[in-house]
Chain A
Amino acid sequence: MSYLPTGFKTLVRREILRFVRRPRNTFAPPFITNILYFSVFGVILGERIREISGVPYIVFILPGLVVLGAVSNAFENASFSIFHGRWNEYIHETLTSPLSYGQMVWAYIVSSATRGVIVGVLIAVLGLAIINPLYAASVGVSRPFYLVAFMLVITLLFASLGVAGGLWAEDFDDLTMMNQFILRPLVFFGGVFYSLSDIPPLLRDVSLMNPMIYMVNGVRYGFIGRAEVNPNLSLLVLLVLTGLVAALDVYLFKRGYGLTE
């Protein structure tokens, strides 16, 4: 049916326009927050920590901050958009359309992942603009393929999780709770600010159960070319996980979970 791609593109466009037209809500917060992160953790604390895994501390945390910004924005965008549409019932405009459930879900995922990628790029550019003059260095992208691949898969994964979260949430407090009590702890214990080799073995083993470790590790590999976990294996695991969560989203839409009852 020829109308299907147009319908999908329209929903993606609508979802992207929703956040692009509100730059104060979308782009200003991560911009300000990351200036603070780079200043406090990178410049001030970095003076004391100096090097970690053979690179300046600020360079070490840059990939982690990119991941933090990218995944939290992808998650927040999808969960908010779905939940707000349910709350005000305008998601009915989508649900009563001839889009397939798969198209609806992937439109929300793709647009939310786009926001995650844009925010991630914004943080990376900001970080490199601070790092390079400060250290008179030329930190860039060591493994572009891996950086792009990891950025895509982690934002798609968290956008998929955000869709499920948006369907599950009963009120706005649930959205905040998911971000504060689930997402942030995973990120902060996900190797953003420390190296696995610097923590006790028991903590390291526990950390390896946190999927965020593999994401931060993969993006760090893309930037500085050093990885603590095999990046190919990480990429494969994350891809499979993304496929599973997206399939769950489609199933939930089909069942009408949070939508039709």
Chain B
Amino acid sequence: MTAAIEVSDLRKRYGDVQALDGASLTVPEGSFFGLLGPNGAGKTTFINILVGLVRKSGGEARVFGHDVETDYQEARDAIGLAPQEFNVDRFFPIKEVLEHKAGYHGIPADEARERADDVLRRVGIYEKRNTRFDWLSGGMKRRFVLARALITEPDLLILDEPTAGVDVQLRRDLWNLITELNDNGTTILLTTHYIEEAERLCDEVAILDSGSVVEVASPEDLMDRGVDKITISFRESPTSAPALTAGNGHIEDVELVDGRLVVTARQGGVVAPDIVRELDREGHEIVDLDISRTSLEEVFVEMTEGQSSNIEGATQ
């Protein structure tokens, strides 16, 4: 199967700033892929190279096997982009803006009109179809850029911070819509600052930092690399923390806090039963157990905080 996005050793320099520094990444067709990274990590530059808004300084980038420079027409035809910044034609009512976008992709006028009505209904702003973009509310603007990305029925939908600054209801509407698209086969590339969003939606995430891909894994795998906290309460509190042999090396720390045993361990859910059995064998009567799972956000911060000094001044 051809990858939806295949990028190798991708580089982009803006003057003194190396925005992308040899990024390599493969996004499988049909996946829901998250691109995470702090501000200035190179996420938007990465996307803009794919759609032709930034010229790469080096490396290769392909969309469904089409080189983004030599086969740029085929590559761009496959992509629907909902960018972070609003870059919408202000001269025309939003329905006509959609018809134009469809037309640029070769969709005949009659079909473009039907599709425009359809996507405006899907994102819930059909009644505003004769309004110009400037007169829409912030949330409606966000809905509109998604509609514009959808009008061409792209095989690859790129969403750059789609839920930045939107209310909870809209965020959930957008999540439902893009999940449905992904279920129907559309590959999704999502960049977001809301780690919860990536954790909830993505099959796989790449962490980009200082222009390089530092990790690619599923959210689950990443969270497994963080440390969980297992808090155990006893009927009778021990006077000192028991020495645990269970956990097969996953346990990193054991301490007694206010009469409760706090175990710090990787893959807490896996090691907890072993710990319970060992404590039981040693005669401790357990009355409560709580596993506090590390969040993707904590793993993300841990993976990227060492690089923060390099981020300053970088262009996103």
Contact = CB atoms under 8 A, between A and B. Distances in A.
Given A18-B91, A90-B88, A96 B53 contact: yes
Nearest to A9: B103
A256 B49 CA distance: 12
Nearest to B69: A254
B90 interface: yes
A143 to B, nearest CB: 38
Interface residues of B, number: 34
Contacts of A94: 104
Contacts of B129: none
Given A3-B107, A4-B106, A93-B87, A98 B54 contact: no
Nearest to B77: A98
A197 interface: no
B104 A99 contact: yes
A90 B133 CA distance: 11
Interface in A1-39: 1-4, 6-7, 9-11, 13-14, 17-18, 21
B290 interface: no
B79 interface: yes
A98 B53 contact: no
Nearest to B81: A96
Contact of B106 (A17, A21, A88, A98): A98
Interface string B49-93: 001111100000000000000001110110101010101111110
Contacts of B273: none
Given A98-B73, A261-B55, A89 B85 contact: yes
B108 interface: yes
B30 to A, nearest CB: 22
Interface string B12-23: 001000000000
A95 B53 contact: yes
A207 interface: no
Contact of B104 (A7, A17, A88): A7
Contact of A10 (B52, B53, B90, B103): B103
Interface residues of A, number: 30
B212 to A, nearest CB: 22
A97 B52 CA distance: 9
Contact of B105 (A92, A98, A100): A98
B105 A89 contact: no
Contact of A7 (B79, B81, B103): B103
Contacts of A11: 100, 103-104
A174 B294 CA distance: 55
B156 to A, nearest CB: 12
Nearest to A5: B106
Contacts of A255: 55
Contacts of A7: 103-106
A92 B104 CA distance: 12
Interface of B: 14, 48, 51-55, 72-74, 76-77, 79, 81, 83, 85, 87-92, 97, 99-101, 103-109, 148
